């Protein structure tokens, strides 16, 4: 198969398996999604979803969150790991959103990336899922699968994102990145598939 044919097969099969993929992080708006994605760094979505109810009961908007002591935020989010840095980031970004953006999460990639503890992947998720702007956030699952499916050289996540954006139509990106994540978790896991075991790997590499 050519790369174009492999991409077409992946898109077709994932649309069959996951026609309406849900956003795995519980949230109610752009701000709570931003905080949840920040917490998900080196942590499972399941753990984040167990942690955020207590945090959002304390403060679910930037004006309230900026008034919560960093130590209190840290105590609540400790189960998610990296709590000192994440707590400082949540407090800092909340203050900036209030002071520079009128209390509203900016629908702008560059503005999001300037917020404390918000990297390109986190900003991309918020742009895609909160604002519907075509983005292709690349996490470890997507990076692994893109390489296994020979859709990217897999040298780094920046290159993987560029390769996947070239391989798939822009209107598919926001849904597709979720579909690949689900497939990577359920079928093409890091240890459970060596690139020759799951259905898509078997088809593409036969």
What is the pLDDT, as a whole number, of residue 187?
96
What is the pLDDT, as a whole number, of residue 116?
97
What is the pLDDT, as a whole number, of residue 53?
98
State the span(s) of the chain assigned CATH 1.10.1670.10. 3-22+135-204
Residue from 118, 50, 109 nearest 78 by CA: 50
Q: Count CB-CB contacts under 10 A for residue 115.
A: 24
What is the pLDDT, as a whole number, of residue 194?
87
Distances (CA, A) of 142 to 41, 44, 139, 163, 184: 15, 15, 5, 12, 7
30-129: CATH topology is Endonuclease III; domain 1 (1.10.340)
For domain 3-22+135-204, the CATH architecture is Orthogonal Bundle (1.10)
Residue from 196, 178, 198, 179 nearest 187 by CA: 198
Confidence (pTM): 0.94
CB-based contact 7:151 (threshold 8 Å): yes
**CA pair distance 35, 27, nearest whole angstrom:** 9
What is the pLDDT, as a whole number, of residue 155?
87
What is the pLDDT, as a whole number, of residue 83?
98
**Tens of each residue's pLDDT in the chain, 206 residues:** 999 999 999 999 999 999 999 999 999 999 999 999 999 999 999 999 999 999 999 999 999 999 999 999 999 999 999 999 999 999 999 999 999 999 999 999 999 999 999 999 999 999 999 999 999 999 989 999 999 999 998 789 999 999 999 999 999 999 999 999 999 999 999 999 988 899 999 999 87
CB-based contact 189:205 (threshold 8 Å): no
What is the pLDDT, as a whole number, of residue 8?
98
State the span(s) of the chain assigned CATH 1.10.340.30. 30-129
What is the pLDDT, as a whole number, of residue 205?
86
What is the pLDDT, as a whole number, of residue 152?
96
């Amino acid at each position: 198969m050519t790369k174009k044919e492999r991409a077409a097969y992946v898109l077709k099969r994932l649309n069959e398996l996951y026609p309406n993929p849900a956003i795995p992080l519980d949230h109610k708006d752009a701000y709570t999604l931003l905080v949840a994605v920040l917490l998900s760094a080196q942590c499972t979505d399941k753990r984040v979803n167990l942690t955020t109810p207590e945090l959002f009961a304390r403060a679910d908007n930037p004006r309230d969150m900026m008034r919560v002591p960093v130590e209190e935020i840290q105590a609540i989010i400790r189960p998610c790991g990296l709590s000192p840095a994440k707590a400082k980031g949540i407090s800092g970004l909340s203050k900036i959103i209030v002071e520079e953006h009128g209390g509203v999460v900016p629908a702008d990639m560059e503005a999001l990336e300037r917020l404390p503890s918000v990297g390109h992947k986190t900003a991309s998720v918020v742009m895609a899922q909160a604002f519907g702007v075509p983005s292709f956030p690349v996490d470890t699952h997507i990076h692994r699968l893109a390489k296994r499916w020979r859709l990217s050289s897999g040298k780094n996540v920046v290159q993987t994102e560029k390769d996947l954006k070239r391989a798939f139509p822009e209107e598919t990106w926001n849904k597709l990145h979720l579909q690949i994540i689900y497939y990577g978790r359920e079928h093409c896991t890091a240890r459970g598939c060596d690139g020759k075991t799951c259905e898509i790997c078997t088809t593409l590499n036969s």
